[in-house]
Amino acid sequence: MTMRALNTPGFGNHGSISVELALLLTFIFLPLLIGVVDFGQLLHAQNIMTRAAREGAIAASRHQDVDRAVLQYVENAGYDTARTRIDTQGSRASSDPVTVTITYDTTAMVIIPWGEITPDMTHVVSSATTQQLY
**What DSSP string describes 8-28?**
STTTT-TTHHHHHHHHHIIII
Confidence of residue 46 (pLDDT cuts 50, 70, 90): very high
CA dihedral (75, 78, 81, 87) positive or negative: negative
> Rounded to whole angstroms, what are the CA distances from 74 to 56, 68, 102?
11, 10, 10
Helix (H, G, I), strand (E, B) or coil at 98: strand
pLDDT of residue 78: 96
> If you average pLDDT over residues 104-123, what whole number do you get?
85
Is a pLDDT exceeding 80 seen at residue 10?
no
Helices (H), the chain: 3-7, 16-24, 30-61, 66-76, 114-117
22 CB neighbour count, 10 Å cutoff: 10
Is a pLDDT exceeding 80 seen at residue 3?
no
> If you average pLDDT over residues 24-41, what whole number do you get?
91
pLDDT of residue 111: 86
Is a pLDDT exceeding 60 seen at residue 90?
yes
Residues in the chain: 134
Of 49, 53, 56, the C-alpha closest to 80 is 49
